[in-house]
Amino acid sequence: MSPSRDQEFLQLALAQARSAGQLGEVPVGAILVRGEQIIASGFNRPIAAHDPTAHAEIQALRSGAQTLQSYRLTDTTLYVTLEPCLMCAAAIVHARVRRLVFGAWDPRAGAAGSMLDVFALPGLNHRVDVFGGVLAEECGALLRKFFEDRRLARD
2 HSE (CA, 13 A, CB side): 3
36 among known catalytic residues: no
Distance of CA 18 to the CA centre of its chain: 13
Catalytic residue among 36, 57, 138, 148: 57
- The 3-class secondary structure across 70-131, one letter per residue, is CCCCCCEEEEEEECCCHHHHHHHHHCCCCEEEEEECCCCCCCECCCCEHHHCCCCCCCCEEE
Q: Which residues are catalytic?
A: 57
